[in-house]
A = this chain, B = another copy of it.
């Protein structure tokens, strides 16, 4: 009797973005637009996520500049610890987020919430625990 080993049921994809928390959105936008010459988006408020966002296009991927919106912003604590700002998370695409999460849980990778939720781009996302990812907050987004 041979136990069949299932192949992977999901695939890791491309880097969707690097998120950078910034204490001054106008200054950060000016750095990438006026000093470094990148194409940047308008500033978009996302009240349900507690952030303002500006996207910086880098051709193959993008930076997502984040600034707190409202009193319960999920990045407020990060900016209190990192007053100049800093890299907050990276987002990598997956083809099937539920399959990925089930597989990662079986491999003892912790997630920040029990279930995926709808992220800033309107797609299901899940954050993996930094302690299980070399100190890096990794967001998986179904794409």
Contacts of A82 in B (CB 8 A): 135
CB pairs A–B below 8 angstroms (26 shown) = A10-B37, A11-B37, A12-B38, A12-B58, A14-B58, A15-B18, A15-B58, A18-B87, A20-B134, A20-B135, A31-B132, A31-B134, A35-B104, A35-B109, A58-B92, A60-B61, A61-B61, A63-B90, A82-B135, A83-B135, A84-B130, A85-B135, A85-B136, A86-B134, A86-B136, A87-B87
Q: Which residues of A contact B (CB under 8 A)?
A: 8, 10-15, 18, 20, 22-24, 27-28, 31, 35-38, 58-61, 63, 65, 82-87, 90, 92, 104, 107, 109, 130-136
